[in-house]
Amino acid sequence: MRRPILAANWKLHKTRAQARAFVDSFLPLVKDADSVDVVIAPVFTALDAVGQALEGSRVALAAQNVSAEPSGAFTGEVAVNMLVDVGCRYTIVGHSERRTLYGETDDGVAAKAAALLAADVHPIVCVGETLEEREANRTLDVLKTQLEGSLAGLPDDRAAEIVIAYEPVWAIGTGKTATPEIAQEAHAFIRERLRERFGAGGDAMRIQYGGSVKPDNVTVLMAQPDIDGALVGGASLDPEAFSQIVHFERARA
């Protein structure tokens, strides 16, 4: 049984004060959410403040990116041990915005994921096809290539610590959610590739869906057999909306 994981990706939003105000409103709303993992990924400058505000709660802190380098002349970068220093337990790597806007490659994503695992931080490895790739019937090829490249060299015995986020690029921030059937088809394909890559460990890996997840569509998405969580952008900026997403099971009951 895979434990659901709901993660907030705040992207380039929220000052420290705004982030603290979110946590103050959010924690009471999710205090009884003990059957799921909840993760918040603020901007780097708010990590420390959010980490302190989350202390004593079950909500975990995440970064949105990391350097694969441990230290040195890498202006503008942040190393894994610095994320650990402020309490990060997860880090998003290979988000499509980083792949398309900042030229991140599968090799680079794999190097970041390896550095995170070495420090016992869970990588959330993002994959997903563009609209052009989907329309050209290349979705499964793209996913296969991204998975092979982004997971290359990662230790087999650490599979369960790695989270995969399937985020069709055409659904991110567009309000166009993949239908549960389209999402499940991609997730089932990813699950097969993970089994091939990691053996039985592939069954323990959690695969999140990302792309315009909202309180009103999360429940049907989460009902799919290979959807184990959500990576949420826009709707995670509002404490009430994100708490409803965390409580997706309530709508099912």
Binding status of residue 128 toward ligand PEP by CB under 6 A: no
Q: How many CB atoms lie within 10 A of CB 130?
A: 17
Nearer to ligand PEP, 51 or 210 (CB): 210
Given 122, 133, 167, 247, which residue is catalytic?
167
In the shown chain, the binding pattern of residues 7 to 36 toward ligand PEP, with x for contact by CB under 6 A and - for none, equals: --x-x-------------------------
Tokens of 31: 């205090």
Nearer to ligand PEP, 158 or 214 (CB): 214
Instruction: Tell the smallest beta-carbon distance from residue 13 to ligand PEP (Å).
Output: 10
Count of positions (residues) in the chain? 253
Is residue 167 part of the annotated active site? The answer reads yes
Q: Which amino acid is at 172?
A: I
Binding status of residue 131 toward ligand PEP by CB under 6 A: no
Binding status of residue 64 toward ligand PEP by CB under 6 A: no
First to last CA, the chain: 19
Q: What are phi and psi of 41, to 5 degrees?
A: -115, 95
Binding status of residue 94 toward ligand PEP by CB under 6 A: no
In the window 222-241, what residues touch ligand PEP (CB under 6 A)?
Answer: 231-235
Is residue 13 part of the annotated active site? The answer reads no
Which residues carry out catalysis?
Answer: 95, 167
Q: Which residues bind ligand PEP (CB under 6 A)?
A: 9, 11, 167, 172-173, 210-213, 231-235
